[in-house]
Amino acid sequence: MGTARLATRPRQWPQGSDTLQAMCQLLGLNCATPTDANFSFTGFRRRGGATDHHADGWGIAFFEGKGLRLFVDHDSAAHSPMADFLRRYPLKSTNIIAHVRKATVGAVKLENTHPFTRELWGRHWVFAHNGDLKDYRPHLHSHFRPVGETDSERAFCWLMQELAKSHAGLPDVRELTLTLQELLPQIRAHGSFNFLLSNGEALWAHCSTQLHYLIRQHPFAAATLMDEDWTVNFADINQPGDRAAVIVTTPLTRNETWTAFAPGELKVFVDGLPLNGETS
């Protein structure tokens, strides 16, 4: 693997993005084969208190088969000893969700730190949210209850509750996507609702205000992080069958082509591609 690590550079934000900076940041990976997320996580964690001010906690969840590893911390990602540990841990998975928090609803506490997890139909589900839901108090009447104080966890619990009401067992990915599309307007009415959701089989990404993605696949090329001077030539470390979709609030790299989601768009990724097979 060809790498170069130099001094950290300040990241350049798109013009007119002051409101977006005040929100949290999302990172998701959906891959055809278990993929090393260290490169993406290294750049992403810098936004949690170093190159940006999302310093009110962070977390990362990654699936290993049907199992799930979850790490959360209410300290800043850029300075967290747990994040330092994960730099040395083999972060390989087919589905990964990470989050750095700028608190808007709920105190800076561990129980308010994303990603959140619940069990449904015998599978782990992981959720992280970027945005602000005003006066959002859904009626929760099943066993899905928030532990913390955030609007994000309330929205997640409501989605899990309504999915459980809509389906007796685990439906296929397309059917789940249709149900989510029917449910989302009830949450979007309360504010911005960018989110990532995964059950280890697929990764759903919804854009309310801002979200980007790219597909890394053969022929692979080099990429340079935007938040730290680190370049990786993915051709040196990947095989032709490897493929990864990377979803993030704002682009992580300076020399790759990122595709912006349309506002209100819901995409589902399976095996490193949008379900409809498009790559751009």
The mean per-residue pLDDT over the stretch 187-208 comes to 97
Tell me, yes or no, whether 8 lies in a domain.
no
24 is catalytic: yes
For the entire predicted model, the pTM comes to 0.88
Q: pLDDT tens digits, residue range 71-97?
A: 998 877 667 788 788 878 878 899 999
Number of domains in the chain: 1
Supply the range of the domain harboring residue 70.
23-274
pLDDT for residue 51 is more than 90: no
**What pLDDT sits at residue 18?**
37
Q: What is the CATH number of the domain that holds 205?
A: 3.60.20.10
DSSP annotation string for the chain? ----B----PPPPPTT-HHHHTS-EEEEEEEEEEEE-HHHHHHHHTTBTTSSB--S-EEEEEEETTEEEEEEESS-GGG-HHHHHHHHS--EEEEEEEEE---SSS-S-GGGPSPEEEEETTEEEEEEEES-BTT------SS---SSS-HHHHHHHHHHHHHHHH-SS---HHHHHHHHHHHHHHHHTTB--EEEEE-SS-EEEE-SS--EEEEEESSP-EEEBSSS-BEEEGGGT--TT-EEEEEESS-SBSSS--EEPPTT-EEEEETTEETT----
Position 28 in a domain: yes
Domain membership of residue 186 (yes or no) is yes
The model's confidence at residue 228, banded by pLDDT at 50, 70 and 90, is confident
Q: Which of 24, 31, 157, 207 is catalytic?
A: 24
Q: Is residue 6 part of a domain?
A: no
Residue 102 pLDDT class (50, 70, 90 cuts): low
